[in-house]
Structure 1
C-alpha cells in the first residue's frame, strides 16, 4: 500500500491514467493545478488535444492559506468522496460523479466539468441561469429527504450518523459561523470603517442568543446528511444544468443549514450587485435574486413534501400534516443560518468574490455594511417570519 504524499502535476497525470476510466489512458498527458480554495490540491487532466477529461483532487493535511500551523485530518477526503457518492445516488443529475477514491492518498478522481462555470463567478458577472435555483432546490430536496428519518430505517440512519461524524470540519464551521464573528478574534477580517457595526454584533444580547441557538442546533440536530458547504462557489452551472461539488464538510446536521447557506449566498450577491453592475442592471439583478430565493425555497419545500408523501417509511412521520409542520421549523432555521452566512462572509475569515471584487472602495464598504445589517436582521427575525413572501418583504425593508 502506498503512503501519503503531496501530488505533483506529474503524479496527478499518472493517477488519472490509472483510475480515470478512459479507454485510452495514455491519451492523458498533462495537468494544470486549478485549486483556489484553502484545503485541497485540484488538477485538471488534459489529453493530447488539450481537452480536459477528468479532475484529480487531493486533500492537504493543513489549511492551505495558513500553513502547517493549522493541521487538518485527511479523513475529510473519505467523508467528501462518500458524501458525493451518496448524494449522486439520490440526485445524479445535480451531483458531480466520483470515479475513484483512495483513502491512503486522500485523493479522488471525478468527472470533468469544463463545460460548466462556477456559479458565483457567473453571478458576479450578472449572468442569470434561469434553471439554477430550481435545480438546486431539487438537489437539496432529494439528498436531504433520502438521508433523513423520513426515508431511512432508524438503524441505518444511526449507523450513518456515526460513519459521517466529521468533528474537525464541523469545528471549522462552528467557529467561523457562530463564534469568531461575535468576538474580538484574530481570524476576523473586515474593513476598519465597519468597526462600530462589528462591535454592535458582539454586544447585541438578542442576536447572541439567537446565534447560540443556531450553533446548538448545528451541534445536535442530526436530521439529514448535509453537503455542509453548499455556497455558490461549490456549484457549477451550464445552460440547463447544475452540479454540486466540494462536500468535505458533509455530516448529519440540521436541514436548514444547507438550505440557509444556499439562500445566504444568493443574498450576498444581492447585497453586492450595486457595486458590481450599472444602476439599472443592478436593480434588475437584485429583483432576480429575490425571485431566485423564492424559487429555491418553494422548490425545496414542495419537492420534499412530495417525496415525503410518496416515500416516507416511518408510519408516524408519514402522518399527512406532519411534513408541512416540520418544514415550518426548517424554514425558520434556514433564515437564521442564511443570516449567519451573511455575517461570517463579511466579518469573518472567509470572504466571497461578490463583495471582494467591487472596485470602488466606498461602495464595497457600503455593500458589506448592508450584508452585515441584513444578516443581523434575519437572524433575529427568523422565528417570526412564517412564509417566503414575508421573508422577501423583510429583505426589501432592510434596503
Structure 2
C-alpha cells in the first residue's frame, strides 16, 4: 500500500500507519518509530506510534464493518468524521476532559490524536480494584457542559439546528436502537448468553409490562433530540488516573435525550458494583452520587449564568428538567445493564468473572437489577435509591 493523505480508503497496518505519520511530519526526520495496533473494540483500528523518546500519537481508523460480526455487517466510514467533529466541539467546552485532535481525514476515515498511554482505561482499572477519586466529578462536569451548551437551554435554537446537521448518525443509532432497546427483549439471533440464564431471560421476554416501559424509552431515544450526546459513554470509553480524566470514542454521537449519556455511565458503574464485596462496594457506588451531584451543580450554574431560553427563569422549571432527566437516565441504565448481560456486546466486568458459577450468579443479579431499574424508574428519586436497590437485589434469594 502506498500511503497518501489524498489516496482512496484502505485499512492501515502497523507499517503503513508509521508511513502515514512520517508523511504528515508528526515526528522528526530520522526518528526511530515503533507501532502497535491496540484497538480492542468492534469498529476500529487503533495504532499507537512512539519514537525513541517515547513521544507518541494515536491514529484511529474506522473499519467499514463491525469486527464482532465481520464484513457481513457493513458500516459507514462517515462515523470517523462524526467522531472528529464531536471531539473538536467537546474541546471547546471541556478541553481538559477530551484528547487533543491533531488531524482528521474523511477519505481515509482517520483521526490522529493525543497519546493517552500514561492513563488507563477506567474499566480495566476498576476490574483490578483501582479507584479514580476524581473520575465521577469530572464526568459530571463533562456531562453538564457538553449537554447544556448543545441544548436549547445553552445554544441558540437556530445554531442548534445547524449543529444537528453535522451529527446525523443513522447507522450507529440503528446499532443502539437494535442492540440496546430491541434485541435483548426478544428472542433475537444477535443475543449471546450462557444457557444457565435461559429461564430468567425467557421470563424477561414474556414480561409485557417491562416491554412497554422499554418501548417508551426507545421512543424517547428515537425522537428526543435534546442535546449532542456522546452516545456510548461507558467506562471503556474513559481514560483516567488519580488526577486526570479523558473521554474518548464518541463515534456514536448524535442529538438525543439528555438522560441517555448519564444512564450509560450509571449502568457501567453498577456493573462494577455488582462484582464487589460488600466491604469495598461503596468505593464504586460513590461514583454514582458524585457524578450526579457534579452534573446537577455544574448544570445549575450554567442554567443560571448562560441560559438563552427565557423560561429558564421560571421557578420550578429546572427541577422539572432534572426530574425528567434522572427518570429517563434510570430507565436507560436498566436497558444498558440487560443488553450488556445477554446481548451481542458484553462487558469484561461480568465476562471476566470466574468460576462459572459465580459469573452466572452475578449475571442473574444484573438482569434483576436492570429489570427493576426500568420498572421502578418513576419511584427512584436519587442515587441513594439506586444504591439501596442494588443492595436489595444482591440480597435476594434466587
Indicate whether the TM-score tops 0.5.
yes
Aligned-pair distance for 1:28? 5.6
- Residues 52, 114 of structure 1: 8 Å contact kept: no
| Counterparts of 2:334 and 2:102, CA distance in 1 | 36
Residues 28 and 138 of structure 1: is their aligned pair in 2 closer, same or farther, counting only changes over 3 Å? farther
Counting only pairs closer than 5 Å after superposition, residues 1-399 of structure 1 correspond to structure 2 as: 1-19=6-24, 21-22=26-27, 24=28, 26-27=30-31, 29-49=33-53, 51-273=54-276, 282-399=277-394
Structure 2: give runs of 5+ residues left out of the alignment. 1-5
| Counterparts of 1:28 and 1:199, CA distance in 2 | 57
Aligned-pair distance for 1:5? 0.9
- Per-residue CA deviations over 1:253-297 (Å, capped at 9, x if unaligned) read 011100000000000111123xxxxxxxx2233122222111111
- Residues 19, 99 of structure 1: 8 Å contact kept: no
Aligned-pair distance for 1:26? 4.2
- Per-residue CA deviations over 1:63-118 (Å, capped at 9, x if unaligned) read 11211100000010001111111111100111111111000000010100011000
Aligned-pair distance for 1:202? 0.8
Aligned-pair distance for 1:395? 2.3
| Counterparts of 2:115 and 2:158, CA distance in 1 | 36
| Counterparts of 2:151 and 2:30, CA distance in 1 | 43
- Residues 166, 251 of structure 1: 8 Å contact kept: yes
- Residues 55, 109 of structure 1: 8 Å contact kept: yes
Structure-2-length-normalised TM-score: 0.95
- Residues 369, 389 of structure 2: 8 Å contact kept: no
Aligned-pair distance for 1:21? 4.5
Aligned-pair distance for 1:34? 0.5
Aligned-pair distance for 1:390? 2.4
- Residues 327, 378 of structure 2: 8 Å contact kept: yes
Residues 93 and 284 of structure 1: is their aligned pair in 2 closer, same or farther, counting only changes over 3 Å? farther
Residues 365 and 98 of structure 1: is their aligned pair in 2 closer, same or farther, counting only changes over 3 Å? same
| Counterparts of 1:386 and 1:327, CA distance in 2 | 10
- The residue aligned with 2:3 is none
SS of structure 2 residue aligned to 1:143: helix
- Per-residue CA deviations over 1:19-58 (Å, capped at 9, x if unaligned) read 4655x25426221100111100100001024x25100000
Residues 8 and 310 of structure 1: is their aligned pair in 2 closer, same or farther, counting only changes over 3 Å? same
| Counterparts of 1:396 and 1:153, CA distance in 2 | 43
Aligned-pair distance for 1:313? 1.1
- Residues 80, 248 of structure 1: 8 Å contact kept: yes
| Counterparts of 1:305 and 1:53, CA distance in 2 | 38
Number of residue-to-residue matches in the alignment: 389
Structure-1-length-normalised TM-score: 0.95
- The residue aligned with 1:278 is none
- Residues 20, 54 of structure 1: 8 Å contact kept: no
| Counterparts of 1:364 and 1:318, CA distance in 2 | 50
SS of structure 1 residue aligned to 2:376: helix
SS of structure 2 residue aligned to 1:41: strand
